Structure 1
Amino acid sequence: MKDQFLQAQHLSFAYNTEEGETPVPVLRELSTAIPKGQFVAVLGHNGSGKSTLAKHFNAILLPQGGTVYVGGMDTRVEENLLPIRQTVGMVFQNPDNQIVATIVEEDVAFALENMGVAPDDIRRRVDEALKTVGMYEFREHAPHQLSGGQKQRVAIAGVIAMRPACIVLDEPTAMLDPKGRREVIGTIRSLNREFGITVVLITHYMDEAARADRVIVMNDGQIILDDVPKKVFSHVAALKEVGLDVPQATELSYELRGAGVNLPDDILDDEEFVRELCKLLNKREGEGC
Protein backbone atom coordinates (compact mmCIF):
# COMPACT_ATOMS: atom_id res chain seq x y z
CA MET A 1 0.00 0.00 0.00
CA LYS A 2 2.93 2.30 -0.62
CA ASP A 3 0.95 4.36 -3.13
CA GLN A 4 -1.70 5.22 -0.53
CA PHE A 5 -1.47 8.72 0.92
CA LEU A 6 -3.77 8.32 3.94
CA GLN A 7 -3.90 4.97 5.69
CA ALA A 8 -5.77 3.71 8.73
CA GLN A 9 -4.88 0.20 9.81
CA HIS A 10 -7.06 -1.55 12.42
CA LEU A 11 -7.82 1.87 13.92
CA SER A 12 -9.65 1.90 17.25
CA PHE A 13 -10.63 4.86 19.41
CA ALA A 14 -12.95 5.46 22.36
CA TYR A 15 -14.00 8.65 24.15
CA ASN A 16 -13.81 8.84 27.93
CA THR A 17 -17.07 9.53 29.73
CA GLU A 18 -17.58 10.13 33.44
CA GLU A 19 -14.81 8.96 35.74
CA GLY A 20 -15.14 5.28 36.49
CA GLU A 21 -17.40 4.59 33.50
CA THR A 22 -16.38 2.47 30.54
CA PRO A 23 -15.06 4.52 27.57
CA VAL A 24 -17.42 4.66 24.58
CA PRO A 25 -15.94 2.98 21.47
CA VAL A 26 -16.24 5.15 18.37
CA LEU A 27 -13.89 3.45 15.87
CA ARG A 28 -13.63 -0.32 15.85
CA GLU A 29 -10.69 -1.95 14.05
CA LEU A 30 -11.28 0.30 11.05
CA SER A 31 -9.01 -0.01 8.02
CA THR A 32 -9.04 2.13 4.89
CA ALA A 33 -6.62 3.81 2.49
CA ILE A 34 -6.92 6.89 0.29
CA PRO A 35 -4.54 7.51 -2.64
CA LYS A 36 -3.10 10.93 -3.40
CA GLY A 37 -5.39 13.13 -5.47
CA GLN A 38 -8.64 11.32 -4.73
CA PHE A 39 -11.86 13.09 -3.72
CA VAL A 40 -13.55 10.96 -1.04
CA ALA A 41 -16.87 11.65 0.66
CA VAL A 42 -17.53 10.05 4.05
CA LEU A 43 -21.13 9.48 5.12
CA GLY A 44 -22.69 8.27 8.36
CA HIS A 45 -25.33 9.27 10.87
CA ASN A 46 -24.39 11.16 14.03
CA GLY A 47 -22.16 8.99 16.21
CA SER A 48 -21.01 6.76 13.34
CA GLY A 49 -17.38 7.84 13.82
CA LYS A 50 -16.85 9.85 10.64
CA SER A 51 -15.65 13.05 12.36
CA THR A 52 -13.43 11.03 14.69
CA LEU A 53 -11.83 9.39 11.65
CA ALA A 54 -11.30 12.82 10.04
CA LYS A 55 -9.47 14.11 13.11
CA HIS A 56 -7.10 11.12 12.99
CA PHE A 57 -6.01 12.11 9.47
CA ASN A 58 -4.75 15.44 10.85
CA ALA A 59 -3.39 13.94 14.10
CA ILE A 60 -5.82 16.02 16.17
CA LEU A 61 -6.65 12.62 17.65
CA LEU A 62 -4.16 9.77 17.96
CA PRO A 63 -4.95 6.05 17.67
CA GLN A 64 -5.67 4.10 20.84
CA GLY A 65 -5.35 0.96 18.80
CA GLY A 66 -3.93 0.40 15.33
CA THR A 67 -2.05 2.99 13.26
CA VAL A 68 -2.64 5.97 10.96
CA TYR A 69 -0.12 7.04 8.33
CA VAL A 70 -0.10 10.36 6.46
CA GLY A 71 2.28 10.36 3.52
CA GLY A 72 4.11 7.48 5.20
CA MET A 73 4.40 9.35 8.53
CA ASP A 74 3.11 7.55 11.62
CA THR A 75 0.82 9.92 13.55
CA ARG A 76 1.89 8.34 16.86
CA VAL A 77 5.46 9.66 16.45
CA GLU A 78 5.64 13.07 18.13
CA GLU A 79 8.17 14.62 15.75
CA ASN A 80 5.80 13.84 12.87
CA LEU A 81 2.93 15.96 14.25
CA LEU A 82 3.99 19.33 12.81
CA PRO A 83 4.76 18.03 9.30
CA ILE A 84 1.51 16.03 9.33
CA ARG A 85 -0.52 19.12 10.22
CA GLN A 86 1.23 21.06 7.46
CA THR A 87 0.46 18.23 5.05
CA VAL A 88 -3.22 17.84 5.97
CA GLY A 89 -5.33 20.99 6.44
CA MET A 90 -8.62 20.89 8.37
CA VAL A 91 -11.77 22.88 7.65
CA PHE A 92 -14.58 22.67 10.19
CA GLN A 93 -18.34 23.18 10.15
CA ASN A 94 -18.43 26.75 11.50
CA PRO A 95 -16.12 29.16 9.62
CA ASP A 96 -16.43 31.69 12.47
CA ASN A 97 -14.40 29.32 14.63
CA GLN A 98 -11.49 29.47 12.16
CA ILE A 99 -11.45 33.16 11.31
CA VAL A 100 -9.21 35.05 13.75
CA ALA A 101 -8.46 38.41 12.09
CA THR A 102 -10.54 41.49 11.31
CA ILE A 103 -9.45 41.71 7.65
CA VAL A 104 -9.78 38.84 5.18
CA GLU A 105 -6.20 38.90 3.86
CA GLU A 106 -4.80 39.13 7.39
CA ASP A 107 -6.77 36.07 8.37
CA VAL A 108 -5.43 34.06 5.43
CA ALA A 109 -1.88 35.19 6.33
CA PHE A 110 -2.21 34.28 10.03
CA ALA A 111 -0.98 30.69 9.87
CA LEU A 112 1.82 31.59 7.45
CA GLU A 113 3.13 34.22 9.84
CA ASN A 114 3.14 31.66 12.64
CA MET A 115 5.06 29.28 10.40
CA GLY A 116 7.75 31.94 9.83
CA VAL A 117 7.16 32.27 6.09
CA ALA A 118 8.98 35.25 4.54
CA PRO A 119 6.80 38.38 4.06
CA ASP A 120 7.14 38.37 0.25
CA ASP A 121 6.09 34.72 0.13
CA ILE A 122 3.16 35.42 2.45
CA ARG A 123 1.89 38.17 0.16
CA ARG A 124 2.10 35.93 -2.89
CA ARG A 125 0.57 32.89 -1.22
CA VAL A 126 -2.31 34.88 0.30
CA ASP A 127 -3.15 36.45 -3.06
CA GLU A 128 -2.95 33.07 -4.82
CA ALA A 129 -5.14 31.38 -2.21
CA LEU A 130 -7.81 34.09 -2.33
CA LYS A 131 -7.86 34.00 -6.13
CA THR A 132 -8.17 30.21 -6.06
CA VAL A 133 -11.33 30.35 -3.94
CA GLY A 134 -12.73 33.38 -5.76
CA MET A 135 -12.38 35.77 -2.83
CA TYR A 136 -9.52 38.04 -3.97
CA GLU A 137 -11.81 41.05 -4.49
CA PHE A 138 -12.86 40.76 -0.84
CA ARG A 139 -9.28 40.74 0.50
CA GLU A 140 -9.68 44.04 2.35
CA HIS A 141 -13.17 43.34 3.68
CA ALA A 142 -14.04 42.51 7.27
CA PRO A 143 -15.02 38.82 7.59
CA HIS A 144 -18.17 39.66 9.54
CA GLN A 145 -19.49 41.46 6.44
CA LEU A 146 -19.35 38.27 4.38
CA SER A 147 -22.00 35.63 3.79
CA GLY A 148 -21.64 32.16 5.30
CA GLY A 149 -20.41 30.68 2.02
CA GLN A 150 -17.88 33.48 1.58
CA LYS A 151 -16.59 33.02 5.13
CA GLN A 152 -16.13 29.30 4.52
CA ARG A 153 -14.20 30.03 1.32
CA VAL A 154 -11.93 32.38 3.30
CA ALA A 155 -11.38 29.58 5.83
CA ILE A 156 -10.46 27.26 2.96
CA ALA A 157 -8.09 29.92 1.56
CA GLY A 158 -6.34 30.06 4.94
CA VAL A 159 -5.77 26.32 4.71
CA ILE A 160 -4.62 26.17 1.08
CA ALA A 161 -2.21 29.10 1.62
CA MET A 162 -0.27 26.60 3.74
CA ARG A 163 -0.07 24.44 0.60
CA PRO A 164 -1.23 21.17 2.09
CA ALA A 165 -1.29 18.04 -0.02
CA CYS A 166 -4.65 17.13 1.50
CA ILE A 167 -7.68 18.95 2.91
CA VAL A 168 -10.10 17.27 5.31
CA LEU A 169 -13.44 19.08 5.58
CA ASP A 170 -15.78 18.18 8.43
CA GLU A 171 -19.32 19.10 7.31
CA PRO A 172 -18.18 22.47 5.88
CA THR A 173 -21.59 23.27 4.37
CA ALA A 174 -23.81 22.24 7.30
CA MET A 175 -24.48 25.85 8.35
CA LEU A 176 -24.83 27.30 4.85
CA ASP A 177 -27.77 28.11 2.60
CA PRO A 178 -28.00 26.38 -0.82
CA LYS A 179 -26.05 29.16 -2.57
CA GLY A 180 -23.26 28.97 0.01
CA ARG A 181 -23.18 25.20 -0.31
CA ARG A 182 -22.76 25.42 -4.09
CA GLU A 183 -19.95 27.97 -3.70
CA VAL A 184 -18.01 25.84 -1.23
CA ILE A 185 -18.47 22.52 -3.03
CA GLY A 186 -17.47 24.17 -6.32
CA THR A 187 -14.30 25.44 -4.65
CA ILE A 188 -13.51 22.01 -3.22
CA ARG A 189 -13.98 20.31 -6.59
CA SER A 190 -11.75 22.91 -8.25
CA LEU A 191 -8.97 22.36 -5.72
CA ASN A 192 -9.14 18.64 -6.34
CA ARG A 193 -9.41 18.71 -10.13
CA GLU A 194 -7.06 21.59 -10.94
CA PHE A 195 -4.43 21.26 -8.22
CA GLY A 196 -4.55 17.54 -7.40
CA ILE A 197 -5.25 18.17 -3.71
CA THR A 198 -6.53 15.09 -1.93
CA VAL A 199 -9.96 15.82 -0.46
CA VAL A 200 -11.77 14.03 2.36
CA LEU A 201 -15.26 15.50 2.71
CA ILE A 202 -17.37 14.58 5.72
CA THR A 203 -20.96 15.41 4.81
CA HIS A 204 -24.59 14.52 5.41
CA TYR A 205 -25.69 15.93 2.05
CA MET A 206 -26.12 13.08 -0.42
CA ASP A 207 -25.88 15.33 -3.49
CA GLU A 208 -22.42 16.47 -2.34
CA ALA A 209 -21.27 12.88 -1.85
CA ALA A 210 -22.58 11.94 -5.29
CA ARG A 211 -20.02 14.32 -6.86
CA ALA A 212 -17.03 12.64 -5.21
CA ASP A 213 -14.76 10.02 -6.80
CA ARG A 214 -15.51 7.60 -3.99
CA VAL A 215 -17.98 7.29 -1.11
CA ILE A 216 -17.25 5.66 2.25
CA VAL A 217 -20.25 4.87 4.44
CA MET A 218 -19.70 4.37 8.16
CA ASN A 219 -21.89 2.88 10.86
CA ASP A 220 -21.04 2.09 14.46
CA GLY A 221 -17.35 2.84 13.98
CA GLN A 222 -16.86 0.61 10.96
CA ILE A 223 -17.01 0.94 7.17
CA ILE A 224 -20.05 -0.77 5.67
CA LEU A 225 -19.85 0.48 2.07
CA ASP A 226 -16.90 1.80 0.06
CA ASP A 227 -17.12 2.31 -3.70
CA VAL A 228 -17.84 4.80 -6.47
CA PRO A 229 -21.03 6.85 -5.86
CA LYS A 230 -23.15 4.95 -8.39
CA LYS A 231 -22.49 1.63 -6.69
CA VAL A 232 -22.80 2.93 -3.12
CA PHE A 233 -26.11 4.70 -3.74
CA SER A 234 -27.55 1.66 -5.51
CA HIS A 235 -27.77 0.10 -2.01
CA VAL A 236 -30.83 2.16 -1.10
CA ALA A 237 -32.27 -0.29 1.43
CA ALA A 238 -28.92 -0.75 3.20
CA LEU A 239 -28.44 3.02 3.48
CA LYS A 240 -31.94 3.56 4.81
CA GLU A 241 -31.35 0.82 7.36
CA VAL A 242 -28.52 2.86 8.93
CA GLY A 243 -30.50 6.09 8.87
CA LEU A 244 -29.14 7.66 5.68
CA ASP A 245 -30.90 9.10 2.65
CA VAL A 246 -29.92 8.90 -1.02
CA PRO A 247 -29.98 11.58 -3.75
CA GLN A 248 -33.55 12.55 -4.71
CA ALA A 249 -33.28 11.13 -8.23
CA THR A 250 -32.00 7.84 -6.78
CA GLU A 251 -34.90 7.75 -4.30
CA LEU A 252 -37.51 8.40 -7.00
CA SER A 253 -36.10 5.74 -9.34
CA TYR A 254 -35.99 3.29 -6.39
CA GLU A 255 -39.67 3.88 -5.62
CA LEU A 256 -40.63 3.54 -9.31
CA ARG A 257 -38.71 0.27 -9.59
CA GLY A 258 -40.70 -0.96 -6.61
CA ALA A 259 -43.83 -0.09 -8.56
CA GLY A 260 -42.63 -2.13 -11.55
CA VAL A 261 -40.96 0.56 -13.66
CA ASN A 262 -37.78 -0.84 -15.19
CA LEU A 263 -35.28 1.91 -14.32
CA PRO A 264 -31.56 1.39 -13.57
CA ASP A 265 -30.56 1.14 -9.90
CA ASP A 266 -27.60 3.52 -10.19
CA ILE A 267 -29.27 6.82 -11.17
CA LEU A 268 -27.74 9.78 -9.28
CA ASP A 269 -29.08 13.04 -10.70
CA ASP A 270 -32.14 14.61 -12.29
CA GLU A 271 -30.75 14.72 -15.83
CA GLU A 272 -29.88 11.04 -15.74
CA PHE A 273 -33.34 10.22 -14.36
CA VAL A 274 -35.10 12.15 -17.13
CA ARG A 275 -32.88 10.53 -19.77
CA GLU A 276 -33.63 6.99 -18.56
CA LEU A 277 -37.35 7.73 -18.24
CA CYS A 278 -37.36 9.08 -21.80
CA LYS A 279 -35.78 5.85 -23.02
CA LEU A 280 -38.60 3.86 -21.45
CA LEU A 281 -41.29 6.11 -22.92
CA ASN A 282 -39.61 5.95 -26.30
CA LYS A 283 -39.66 2.15 -26.22
CA ARG A 284 -43.29 2.00 -25.17
CA GLU A 285 -44.71 4.72 -27.40
CA GLY A 286 -42.17 4.98 -30.20
CA GLU A 287 -41.76 8.70 -29.50
CA GLY A 288 -38.97 10.83 -28.04
CA CYS A 289 -39.28 13.15 -25.05
Structure 2
Amino acid sequence: MEPIIRADHVTFAYPGYDDQPPRPVLRGVSLEIQRGSMVAVLGHNGSGKSTLAKQFNAILLPQEGDVLVEGMNTKEEDRIYDIRQTVGMVFQNPDNQIVATIVEEDVAFAPENLGVPPEEIRRRVDDALKAVHMYDYRRHAPHQLSGGQKQRVAIAGIIAMRPDCIVLDEPTAMLDPHGRRQVMKAVKALGEQFGITVVLITHYMDEAAQCDRVVVIDDGRILLDGAPKEVFSHVQVLKDVGLDVPQATQLAFELRKAGYNIPQDIISEDECVAAIEKLLEENHVHH
Protein backbone atom coordinates (compact mmCIF):
# COMPACT_ATOMS: atom_id res chain seq x y z
CA MET A 1 0.00 0.00 0.00
CA GLU A 2 1.25 3.49 -0.91
CA PRO A 3 2.35 5.34 2.27
CA ILE A 4 0.34 8.46 3.13
CA ILE A 5 3.56 10.48 3.64
CA ARG A 6 6.96 9.81 2.17
CA ALA A 7 10.06 11.84 2.96
CA ASP A 8 12.87 11.14 0.52
CA HIS A 9 16.41 12.28 1.48
CA VAL A 10 15.07 15.51 2.99
CA THR A 11 17.68 18.11 3.89
CA PHE A 12 16.83 21.41 5.54
CA ALA A 13 18.85 24.21 7.17
CA TYR A 14 17.77 27.43 8.86
CA PRO A 15 19.65 30.54 7.72
CA GLY A 16 22.60 31.51 9.91
CA TYR A 17 22.65 34.79 11.84
CA ASP A 18 25.43 37.42 11.69
CA ASP A 19 27.47 35.85 8.89
CA GLN A 20 27.18 32.38 10.44
CA PRO A 21 26.75 29.55 7.90
CA PRO A 22 23.26 27.98 7.66
CA ARG A 23 22.55 25.48 10.43
CA PRO A 24 21.58 22.04 9.03
CA VAL A 25 18.62 20.61 10.96
CA LEU A 26 17.61 17.68 8.75
CA ARG A 27 20.35 15.71 7.04
CA GLY A 28 19.02 13.42 4.32
CA VAL A 29 16.03 12.05 6.23
CA SER A 30 14.04 9.30 4.50
CA LEU A 31 10.87 8.04 6.13
CA GLU A 32 7.51 6.53 5.19
CA ILE A 33 4.33 6.91 7.24
CA GLN A 34 1.81 4.15 6.56
CA ARG A 35 -1.89 4.95 6.35
CA GLY A 36 -3.81 4.34 9.58
CA SER A 37 -0.69 4.03 11.74
CA MET A 38 0.18 5.95 14.89
CA VAL A 39 3.81 7.02 14.79
CA ALA A 40 5.76 8.83 17.51
CA VAL A 41 8.76 10.95 16.53
CA LEU A 42 11.14 11.39 19.47
CA GLY A 43 14.17 13.57 19.92
CA HIS A 44 15.54 16.13 22.35
CA ASN A 45 15.21 19.88 21.66
CA GLY A 46 17.07 20.86 18.52
CA SER A 47 17.14 17.31 17.13
CA GLY A 48 15.03 18.29 14.08
CA LYS A 49 11.74 16.61 15.03
CA SER A 50 9.55 19.74 14.83
CA THR A 51 11.25 20.82 11.61
CA LEU A 52 10.40 17.40 10.16
CA ALA A 53 6.77 17.75 11.30
CA LYS A 54 6.46 21.07 9.46
CA GLN A 55 7.66 19.40 6.25
CA PHE A 56 4.67 17.06 6.33
CA ASN A 57 2.12 19.74 5.51
CA ALA A 58 4.34 22.16 3.62
CA ILE A 59 4.83 24.77 6.36
CA LEU A 60 8.50 24.22 5.51
CA LEU A 61 9.81 22.83 2.21
CA PRO A 62 12.86 20.58 1.71
CA GLN A 63 15.97 22.32 0.38
CA GLU A 64 17.10 18.96 -0.98
CA GLY A 65 15.01 15.83 -1.42
CA ASP A 66 11.20 15.63 -1.55
CA VAL A 67 8.16 15.14 0.65
CA LEU A 68 5.17 13.42 -0.94
CA VAL A 69 1.73 13.56 0.68
CA GLU A 70 -0.63 11.05 -0.96
CA GLY A 71 1.63 11.34 -3.99
CA MET A 72 1.54 15.18 -4.05
CA ASN A 73 4.93 16.89 -3.87
CA THR A 74 4.95 19.63 -1.19
CA LYS A 75 7.07 21.79 -3.53
CA GLU A 76 4.18 22.09 -6.01
CA GLU A 77 2.59 25.40 -5.05
CA ASP A 78 -0.75 24.62 -6.67
CA ARG A 79 -1.13 21.53 -4.44
CA ILE A 80 -0.60 23.29 -1.08
CA TYR A 81 -4.34 23.59 -0.39
CA ASP A 82 -4.92 19.87 -1.06
CA ILE A 83 -1.88 18.90 1.00
CA ARG A 84 -3.07 20.92 4.02
CA GLN A 85 -6.52 19.39 3.75
CA THR A 86 -4.90 15.95 3.79
CA VAL A 87 -2.51 16.62 6.70
CA GLY A 88 -3.83 18.68 9.61
CA MET A 89 -1.48 20.15 12.18
CA VAL A 90 -1.90 20.71 15.93
CA PHE A 91 0.73 22.83 17.66
CA GLN A 92 2.18 23.03 21.14
CA ASN A 93 0.26 26.13 22.19
CA PRO A 94 -3.51 25.79 21.65
CA ASP A 95 -3.97 29.56 22.10
CA ASN A 96 -2.28 30.05 18.73
CA GLN A 97 -4.92 27.88 17.05
CA ILE A 98 -8.13 29.01 18.69
CA VAL A 99 -9.79 31.77 16.64
CA ALA A 100 -13.40 32.07 17.87
CA THR A 101 -15.01 33.18 21.14
CA ILE A 102 -17.26 30.10 21.46
CA VAL A 103 -15.92 26.52 21.41
CA GLU A 104 -18.31 25.14 18.75
CA GLU A 105 -17.71 28.14 16.47
CA ASP A 106 -13.99 27.55 16.73
CA VAL A 107 -14.37 23.90 15.70
CA ALA A 108 -16.67 24.97 12.81
CA PHE A 109 -14.20 27.57 11.52
CA ALA A 110 -12.11 25.37 9.20
CA PRO A 111 -15.02 23.36 7.68
CA GLU A 112 -16.82 26.66 6.97
CA ASN A 113 -13.73 27.93 5.15
CA LEU A 114 -13.62 24.69 3.18
CA GLY A 115 -17.19 25.34 2.01
CA VAL A 116 -18.74 22.36 3.79
CA PRO A 117 -22.60 22.56 3.82
CA PRO A 118 -24.07 23.86 7.15
CA GLU A 119 -25.86 20.64 8.18
CA GLU A 120 -22.68 18.64 7.52
CA ILE A 121 -20.68 21.18 9.58
CA ARG A 122 -23.12 20.73 12.48
CA ARG A 123 -22.59 16.96 12.36
CA ARG A 124 -18.82 17.21 12.09
CA VAL A 125 -18.56 19.69 14.96
CA ASP A 126 -20.69 17.49 17.25
CA ASP A 127 -18.76 14.33 16.28
CA ALA A 128 -15.39 16.03 16.77
CA LEU A 129 -16.28 17.48 20.18
CA LYS A 130 -17.69 14.14 21.35
CA ALA A 131 -14.52 12.37 20.18
CA VAL A 132 -12.38 14.56 22.46
CA HIS A 133 -14.96 14.62 25.29
CA MET A 134 -15.60 18.36 24.97
CA TYR A 135 -19.20 18.28 23.72
CA ASP A 136 -20.56 19.54 27.07
CA TYR A 137 -18.36 22.62 26.68
CA ARG A 138 -19.53 23.49 23.17
CA ARG A 139 -21.09 26.84 24.24
CA HIS A 140 -18.21 27.84 26.55
CA ALA A 141 -15.65 30.53 25.83
CA PRO A 142 -12.27 28.92 24.99
CA HIS A 143 -10.32 31.35 27.21
CA GLN A 144 -12.16 29.96 30.27
CA LEU A 145 -10.91 26.41 29.62
CA SER A 146 -7.86 24.67 31.08
CA GLY A 147 -4.80 24.05 28.90
CA GLY A 148 -5.76 20.40 28.35
CA GLN A 149 -9.31 21.35 27.40
CA LYS A 150 -8.10 24.02 24.96
CA GLN A 151 -5.75 21.53 23.34
CA ARG A 152 -8.62 19.07 22.91
CA VAL A 153 -10.69 21.82 21.26
CA ALA A 154 -7.76 22.47 18.89
CA ILE A 155 -7.68 18.75 18.05
CA ALA A 156 -11.46 18.78 17.50
CA GLY A 157 -11.01 21.69 15.07
CA ILE A 158 -8.65 19.56 12.99
CA ILE A 159 -10.89 16.44 13.22
CA ALA A 160 -13.79 18.50 11.83
CA MET A 161 -11.74 19.09 8.65
CA ARG A 162 -11.69 15.30 8.19
CA PRO A 163 -8.01 15.11 7.21
CA ASP A 164 -6.44 11.73 6.42
CA CYS A 165 -3.52 12.47 8.72
CA ILE A 166 -2.95 14.64 11.79
CA VAL A 167 0.52 15.77 12.85
CA LEU A 168 0.68 16.82 16.51
CA ASP A 169 3.75 18.85 17.37
CA GLU A 170 4.33 18.35 21.12
CA PRO A 171 0.62 18.83 21.91
CA THR A 172 1.09 18.08 25.63
CA ALA A 173 4.27 20.09 26.28
CA MET A 174 2.43 22.89 28.12
CA LEU A 175 0.06 20.63 30.09
CA ASP A 176 -0.03 19.09 33.56
CA PRO A 177 -0.12 15.26 33.84
CA HIS A 178 -3.94 15.20 33.92
CA GLY A 179 -4.17 17.37 30.81
CA ARG A 180 -1.57 15.21 29.08
CA ARG A 181 -3.58 12.03 29.76
CA GLN A 182 -6.77 13.66 28.45
CA VAL A 183 -5.08 14.77 25.24
CA MET A 184 -3.44 11.37 24.68
CA LYS A 185 -6.85 9.70 25.00
CA ALA A 186 -8.19 12.11 22.38
CA VAL A 187 -5.21 11.42 20.11
CA LYS A 188 -5.70 7.65 20.33
CA ALA A 189 -9.38 8.09 19.42
CA LEU A 190 -8.34 9.69 16.11
CA GLY A 191 -7.12 6.40 14.73
CA GLU A 192 -9.67 4.17 16.43
CA GLN A 193 -12.77 6.24 15.59
CA PHE A 194 -11.92 8.05 12.39
CA GLY A 195 -9.13 5.94 10.90
CA ILE A 196 -6.90 9.02 10.85
CA THR A 197 -3.15 8.49 10.56
CA VAL A 198 -1.39 10.10 13.55
CA VAL A 199 2.15 11.48 13.72
CA LEU A 200 2.95 12.50 17.30
CA ILE A 201 6.04 14.63 17.89
CA THR A 202 6.90 14.31 21.57
CA HIS A 203 9.66 14.09 24.13
CA TYR A 204 7.54 12.09 26.58
CA MET A 205 8.54 8.43 26.48
CA ASP A 206 5.29 7.17 27.97
CA GLU A 207 3.37 8.83 25.12
CA ALA A 208 5.66 7.31 22.50
CA ALA A 209 5.21 3.87 24.10
CA GLN A 210 1.46 4.07 23.29
CA CYS A 211 2.12 4.35 19.54
CA ASP A 212 2.54 1.56 16.93
CA ARG A 213 5.95 2.80 15.91
CA VAL A 214 8.68 5.04 17.32
CA VAL A 215 11.15 7.03 15.20
CA VAL A 216 14.08 8.58 17.10
CA ILE A 217 15.80 11.58 15.52
CA ASP A 218 19.17 12.83 16.66
CA ASP A 219 21.14 15.64 15.08
CA GLY A 220 18.93 15.68 11.99
CA ARG A 221 19.23 11.97 11.24
CA ILE A 222 17.11 8.93 12.07
CA LEU A 223 18.80 7.02 14.87
CA LEU A 224 16.22 4.30 15.60
CA ASP A 225 12.97 3.27 13.93
CA GLY A 226 10.73 0.38 14.96
CA ALA A 227 8.04 -0.89 17.32
CA PRO A 228 8.19 0.72 20.81
CA LYS A 229 9.40 -2.52 22.41
CA GLU A 230 12.28 -2.73 19.98
CA VAL A 231 13.28 0.95 20.13
CA PHE A 232 13.13 1.19 23.93
CA SER A 233 15.23 -1.95 24.34
CA HIS A 234 18.19 0.25 23.23
CA VAL A 235 18.33 1.95 26.63
CA GLN A 236 22.01 2.92 26.47
CA VAL A 237 21.78 4.26 22.88
CA LEU A 238 18.88 6.51 23.92
CA LYS A 239 20.65 7.67 27.07
CA ASP A 240 23.75 8.52 25.04
CA VAL A 241 21.72 11.04 23.00
CA GLY A 242 20.09 12.57 26.07
CA LEU A 243 16.77 10.74 25.94
CA ASP A 244 15.02 8.77 28.64
CA VAL A 245 13.04 5.56 28.34
CA PRO A 246 9.68 4.75 29.99
CA GLN A 247 10.07 4.29 33.76
CA ALA A 248 9.17 0.59 33.60
CA THR A 249 11.86 0.08 30.93
CA GLN A 250 14.40 1.90 33.10
CA LEU A 251 13.61 -0.28 36.13
CA ALA A 252 13.89 -3.47 34.06
CA PHE A 253 17.21 -2.20 32.64
CA GLU A 254 18.61 -1.58 36.15
CA LEU A 255 17.45 -5.04 37.31
CA ARG A 256 19.13 -6.67 34.30
CA LYS A 257 22.32 -4.73 35.03
CA ALA A 258 22.18 -6.07 38.59
CA GLY A 259 22.09 -9.61 37.17
CA TYR A 260 18.36 -10.41 37.35
CA ASN A 261 16.78 -12.32 34.51
CA ILE A 262 14.22 -9.75 33.28
CA PRO A 263 13.00 -9.45 29.66
CA GLN A 264 14.54 -6.71 27.56
CA ASP A 265 11.36 -5.49 25.86
CA ILE A 266 9.36 -4.17 28.85
CA ILE A 267 7.67 -0.82 28.22
CA SER A 268 4.59 -0.79 30.46
CA GLU A 269 4.14 -0.89 34.22
CA ASP A 270 1.94 -4.00 33.93
CA GLU A 271 4.67 -5.88 32.04
CA CYS A 272 7.21 -4.83 34.64
CA VAL A 273 5.03 -5.99 37.55
CA ALA A 274 4.40 -9.35 35.82
CA ALA A 275 8.14 -9.86 35.19
CA ILE A 276 9.06 -9.06 38.80
CA GLU A 277 6.31 -11.36 40.13
CA LYS A 278 7.62 -14.15 37.90
CA LEU A 279 11.16 -13.52 39.16
CA LEU A 280 9.98 -13.71 42.79
CA GLU A 281 8.13 -16.98 42.13
CA GLU A 282 11.14 -18.52 40.42
CA ASN A 283 13.24 -17.61 43.42
CA HIS A 284 10.52 -18.87 45.80
CA VAL A 285 10.06 -15.50 47.42
CA HIS A 286 6.59 -15.09 48.88
CA HIS A 287 5.25 -11.57 48.70
* TM-score, L = length of structure 2: 0.97
Tell me by how many angstroms 1:181 deviates: 0.6
Give the superposition deviation at 1:136: 1.0
Partner residue, 1:46? 45
1:222-263, CA deviations, whole angstroms, 9 ceiling, x for partnerless residues? 001000000000000000000000000111111111111111
Further displaced range: 176-185 or 277-286: 277-286
2:98 matched to which residue of 1? 99
- The answer to whether structure 1 residue 232 and structure 2 residue 209 are counterparts is no
Cα displacement (A) at 1:283: 1.0
Q: Percent of pairs identical after alignment?
A: 66
CA distance in 2, matches of 1:97, 1:76: 26
| In structure 1, C-alpha distance between the alignment counterparts of 2:243 and 2:17, rounded to whole Å | 30
Residue by residue over 1:50-87, the C-alpha shift from the partner in whole angstroms, topping out at 9 and shown as x without a partner, is 00000000110011000000011111111110000000
Q: What's the offset of the Cα at 1:129?
A: 1.1
Give the superposed CA RMSD: 1.1
**The 10-residue stretch of structure 1 (254-263 or 14-23) with the greater mean CA deviation from structure 2:** 14-23
Deviation digits for residues 180-206 of structure 1 (CA, Å, limit 9, x no counterpart):
111110011111122211000000110
- Listed one character per residue, the Cα deviations across residues 36-56 of structure 1 (whole Å, up to 9, x for unaligned) are 000000000111100000000
Deviations 1:76-124 (A, max 9, x none): 1111100000000000011111111110011111112222222222222
**Distance between the aligned counterparts of 1:285 and 1:279, measured in 2?**
10
Unaligned runs of 5+ in 1: none
Output the amino acid matched with 2:148.
G
Alignment match, 1:243: 242
Shift of 1:173: 0.3
Q: In structure 2, give the amino acid aligned to 1:114.
A: N
Structure 1 position 253 matched with structure 2 position 252: yes
Q: Give, in angstroms, the shift of residue 145 of structure 1.
A: 1.3
In the alignment, residue 245 of structure 1 is paired with which amino acid? D
1:121-148 superposed Cα distances (whole Å, 9 cap, x missing partner): 2222111211111111111000111111
Q: Which amino acid aligns with 1:49?
A: G
- Secondary structure of the residue that 2:275 maps to in structure 1? helix
Rounded to whole Å, the distance in 2 between the matches of 1:278 and 1:112 is 52
Matches within 5 A, 1:47-126: 47-126=46-125
- Give the Cα–Cα distance (whole angstroms) in 2 for the partners of residues 284 and 249 of structure 1: 21
Give 5+ residue unaligned stretches, structure 2: none
Please tell me the residue identity of whatever aligns with 1:31. S
**Structure 1 length as normaliser, TM-score?**
0.97
